[in-house]
């Protein structure tokens, strides 16, 4: 994506990498520790017996979550197509793909709200039901918050592009940074989907 | 770095198909495991597929394989630190069993 950064951006930057981009990669790197802690917390409590209430692994709707995962995965495709369109100076294409990415992210969020509602209303599994439920809601809730922030950033970029008649090279870097954040949210979900949904089992 | 270094839109679509297929295989494995109880093999296969998807997204969609080594080092360092740190926690608390000598 670095073709969007002009030589002027790199002037005086000794690493040869745009500072904002380097900052974003370092931030994403630190996010591994944040989500790692939440995933570890879930693994510690997901099948620890002796607590009352429903355990998340007993009530997962795997077909539904698989569709949600597919939607988020495809939003990474639309994100990269938005960037590709901008690098070809196709402003309309960039706006369209940005909107598609935000829409897919919103569908994923809607799915998460539906899942949480199902768990609370139909199964009475709440944040305070047991440590496994707490760990599940905190982990997936924080991931959902990240997705929501991503959707806001995507829509802001699209709005900026509409108002100004397109994204400049400098805003192209903004799109690149939002894209990096969005793909990161996707890879975290890849891990959550496997570890939390597909591999976890309720207490024996 | 020139634009030609990056994949084309057609290649991005192909990568998306690969990711979708890998996800479908993951879900299929989940149901196969329910019937056949694959045990540790199921975990190994699912984790391998997740790592594959992770590497594809980071390498191609995040373009890390086309970027300067400095970014790879930062990103890998954070990932390795998190994996190492939390594996120790999980091993200490008995969630992950590490068999040695």
A8 falls within a domain: no
* Chain A (28-47) residues lying within 8 Å, Cβ to Cβ, of chain B: 28-33, 35-37, 39-40, 43-44
Query: Left, alpha or beta for A5 (phi > 0: left; psi -120 to 50: alpha)?
Result: beta
Compute the average pLDDT of residues A12-26.
Answer: 83
What is the percentage of chain A residues whose pLDDT exceeds 90? 68
Question: CA of B101, closest CA in chain A: separation in Å?
Answer: 26
Which chain B residues are Cβ-neighbours of A37 within 8 angstroms?
Answer: 86
CATH number at residue A159: 1.20.120.80
A204 falls within a domain: no
Same domain, B61 and B20: yes
Q: Tell me which residue in A32, A194, A198 faces B78 most closely, judged by beta carbons.
A: A32
ipTM (interface pTM):
0.89
Task: Say what the pLDDT of residue A10 is.
Answer: 59
Least confident of A85-94, B12-21, B52-61: A85-94
Same domain, B15 and B63: yes
Question: CA of A122, closest CA in chain B: separation in Å?
Answer: 24
Same domain, B32 and B13: yes
pTM: 0.90
Question: CA of B82, closest CA in chain A: separation in Å?
Answer: 5
CB atoms within 10 A of CB A109: 18
Compute the average pLDDT of residues B40-58.
Answer: 94
Q: pLDDT tens digits, residue range A79-107? A: 999 999 998 888 899 999 999 999 999 99
Q: Contact B82/A21, CB-based, under 8 Å?
A: no
* Chain A (62-91) residues lying within 8 Å, Cβ to Cβ, of chain B: 62-63, 66, 69-70, 73-74, 76-77, 79-81, 84, 87-88
**What is the rounded CA–CA span in Å between residue A154 and residue A174?**
10
Does B1 score more than 50 pLDDT?
no
Compute the average pLDDT of residues A52-64.
Answer: 90
Task: Say what the pLDDT of residue B4 is.
Answer: 47
Same domain, B8 and B37: yes
Closest CA to B28 of B42, B48, B44: B42
Task: Say what the pLDDT of residue B65 is.
Answer: 87
Same domain, B49 and B9: yes
Through-space distance between the first and last CA atoms of chain A, rounded to whole angstroms: 49
- Tell me which residue range forms the domain holding B52: 3-67
Same domain, B63 and B84: no
Same domain, B61 and B75: no
* Chain A (85-144) residues lying within 8 Å, Cβ to Cβ, of chain B: 87-88
User: What total of structural domains would you count in chain B?
Assistant: 2
């Amino acid at each position: 994506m670095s073709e969007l950064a002009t030589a002027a951006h790199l002037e005086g930057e000794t690493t040869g990498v745009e500072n904002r981009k380097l900052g974003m990669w370092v931030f994403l790197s630190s996010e591994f520790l944040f989500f790692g802690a939440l995933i570890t917390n879930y693994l510690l409590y997901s099948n620890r017996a002796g607590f009352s209430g429903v355990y998340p692994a007993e009530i997962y709707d795997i077909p539904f979550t698989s569709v949600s995962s597919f939607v988020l995965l495809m939003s990474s495709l639309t994100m990269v197509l938005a960037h590709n369109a901008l690098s070809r100076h196709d402003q309309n294409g960039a706006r369209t793909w940005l909107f598609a990415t935000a829409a897919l992210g919103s569908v994923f969020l809607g799915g998460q709200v539906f899942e949480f509602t199902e768990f609370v209303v139909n199964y009475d599994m709440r944040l305070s039901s047991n440590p496994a439920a707490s760990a599940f809601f905190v982990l997936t809730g924080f991931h959902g918050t990240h997705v929501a922030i991503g959707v806001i950033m995507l829509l802001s970029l699209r709005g900026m592009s509409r108002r100004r008649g397109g994204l400049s090279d400098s805003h192209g870097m903004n799109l690149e940074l939002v894209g990096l954040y969005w793909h990161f949210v996707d890879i975290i979900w890849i891990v959550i989907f496997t570890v939390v949904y597909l591999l976890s089992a309720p207490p024996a | 770095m020139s634009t030609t270094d990056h994949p084309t839109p057609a290649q991005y679509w192909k990568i998306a198909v690969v990711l979708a297929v890998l996800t479908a295989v993951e879900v299929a494995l989940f149901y196969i495991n329910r019937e056949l109880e694959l045990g540790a093999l199921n975990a190994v296969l699912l984790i391998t597929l997740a790592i594959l998807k992770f590497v594809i997204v980071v390498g191609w969609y995040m373009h890390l394989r086309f970027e300067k080594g400095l970014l790879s080092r930062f990103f890998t360092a954070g990932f390795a630190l998190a994996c190492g740190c939390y594996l120790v926690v999980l091993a200490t608390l008995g969630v992950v069993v590490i068999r040695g000598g």
